[in-house]
Amino acid sequence: MLSTITVRPALPEDYDAVARITQESYVTAGYYGDADHPYLKKLQDVAGRAEHAKILVAERNGEVIGSVTAAPAGGGFSDIGLEDELELRTLVVDPAVQRSGAGRALVQAVVEQAKSMDGINAVSLTTGATWESANALYARTGFDRAPHRDWFVPGTDIKLFVYRLDLPQS
């Protein structure tokens, strides 16, 4: 029997687990090569992220197994968010439990948060062009590619895809 996954706001006592899962997820997937990559170090500063955005965690049986960051456009942790978008960033699930539904639950939690915010009409995100499992998850959860917004990591030939999910208007 599978245990229920609960998504909730991250607490300061969760930050070490979020940093560990972030490192393990990115290194295991080969996104940044090793744990000392400068960008990965930035992502592991969970308290710094929390100053500019809302961090959510997925929990199962009392253990943090994943996290995501919901960054308001123009804030200190938003890369590509437009004024009417909430930007989904740094979605990670512990490699030991990937494909457990935690990633989908975290994406859905960001979408629900966006729906509750005044002036927010969409959720946007950036993902690596070669990150097949992430791209598949975003497509399965209703996001559409926004290729006119794709970009490259500055100073590299690493292409990043932009996705957007328009929210139903009430």
Task: Flag residues of the chain having pLDDT under 70.
Answer: 1-2, 27-41, 170
Element (H, E) at 164: strand 159-166
Q: What is the pTM of this model?
A: 0.91
pLDDT digits (tens, 9 = 90+) for 2-15: 579 999 999 999 99
Task: List domains and CATH numbers for the chain.
Answer: 5-166 (3.40.630.30)
pLDDT at site 130: 84
Percent of the chain with pLDDT over 90: 64
| Residue at token pair 């639950």 | 105
pLDDT at site 29: 63
pLDDT digits (tens, 9 = 90+) for 56-82: 999 999 999 999 999 999 888 898 999
